[in-house]
Amino acid sequence: MNIIYSDLHLAHQPNYEIYDGRRSAYPEVAARVDSIITELRRLGIGRITKPTHFPLRHIYAVHQKQYVDFLRQCSKNLANNEELYPSYFISDTYAPLTPGTFKASLTAVDCALSGAQKILSGQPIVYSLCRPPGHHAAHHTMGGYCYFNNAAIAAEFLANHGSVAILDIDFHHGNGTQAAFYNRRDVLYLSIHADPAQRYPYSSGFSDECGSGPGEGFNFNYPLDLATTNSQYLAVLDSCLSEIKKFNPDFLVVSAGFDTFIHDPIGGFALTQDVYREIGARIGSLKLPTLIIQEGGYNVEYLGKLIGNFLSGFKLNQGSF
Ligand SMILES: [Zn+2]
């Protein structure tokens, strides 16, 4: 297994989000990545390499150029420790700009694209440790701790070489990713997440959103109750996996969020530590060339363990094919 990681994410260190009208501590912290990389090194389950740099045209395939320019210019103009919530190009109050935001976001995209490149060169499984996460970033909006949609950019890159299924297992619906491919039939999007009637992003992720135009029937949402248990979750995952089998893609992209964990401070179904090994094993049993993109997960103490379990289960079951 290849693991793509860069410490350039450290450039992005927001201090606060605006939640319910008040400033509160920013949960998407750099320590999340320390928790992950420390555990993956301890487990020794993959070779850790740095990303290579890719041209901006791959980002323009998903995001509006004016939005990308805005992010670059705004980051550049901010003073040290300054934090800005702009009044446009943003969909909520959970994605502040800091001086290092553009650099870190660009590096996260490079991690995703470097992973996709390795998949194209024949690697069966790559884990891209992206930070900031990406699945809430849309065509011209940042939001939900996301700036560039790492998974969508990588999927678009892979779609030039074959069909792609994106399986999003973050606690929150990947509204940005869904929107990017909503009218496409060459990229299947499936998401298992908290019922948007109860949790962010509130406005999308309902089960009747099935795609439009040529993409009708190629978008699947599985909104779940907050009390969902391990066995209930695995049953829904199995439904997802059978849709992926029917679609029979050339590549699989997993938007891997771990805020489904019972003790996650901002998400949390009733899922326990060990189920992540089984989730990984079941996805791995598809035996597809798979790019795993890091999304959310905010329990810093447990995050590394959850991902270690997930990747161990995945690797064990996927084997070589
Ligand atoms: Zn999330």
Angle between helices 31-43 and 300-318 (to 10 degrees): 40
Q: State how far the Cα of 285 lies from the Cα of 42, in Å rounded to an integer.
A: 25
Give distance in angstroms: CA of 29 to centre of ligand 1. Answer: 13
Structure tokens at 47: 């070779």
Beta strands 187-194 and 164-168 are: parallel
Active site residue 136: yes
Give the predicted TM-score (pTM) of the model: 0.97
Measured in angstroms, how far is the CA atom of residue 145 from the centroid of ligand 1? 9
Say whether pLDDT at 206 is over 70. yes
State the distance between the two ends of the chain, measured CA to CA, in whole angstroms: 13
Phi-psi region of 133 (alpha: psi -120 to 50; beta: other; left: phi over 0): beta
CA of 125 to the centre of ligand 1 (A): 23
pLDDT at residue 320, rounded to an integer: 46
- Is the pLDDT at 211 greater than 70, yes or no? yes
With beta carbons less than 8 A apart as the criterion, state whether 110 and 275 touch: no
**Token couple for 251:** 């590549």
In this predicted model, what pLDDT tens digit does every residue of 144-183 receive, in sequence order?
999 999 999 999 999 999 999 999 999 999 999 999 999 9
Q: Spot the catalytic one: 9, 136, 172, 193.
A: 136
pLDDT at 272 over 60: yes
- Tell me what pLDDT residue 319 has: 58
Confidence of residue 321 (pLDDT cuts 50, 70, 90): very low
Provide φ and ψ at 48, rounded to 5°: -95, 120
Residue ranges of domains in the chain, CATH in brackets = 2-318 (3.40.800.20)
pLDDT at 317: 73
Which residues are found with C-beta within 5 Å of the ion, ligand 1?
A: 170-172, 257, 259, 296
pLDDT in tens, 86-137: 989 999 989 999 999 999 999 999 999 999 999 999 999 999 999 999 999 9
Q: Enumerate the H helices of the chain as residue ranges.
A: 31-43, 57-60, 65-77, 101-120, 150-159, 175-181, 230-247, 275-284, 300-318
| 7-59 tens-digit pLDDT | 999 999 998 888 888 999 999 999 999 999 999 999 999 999 999 999 999 99
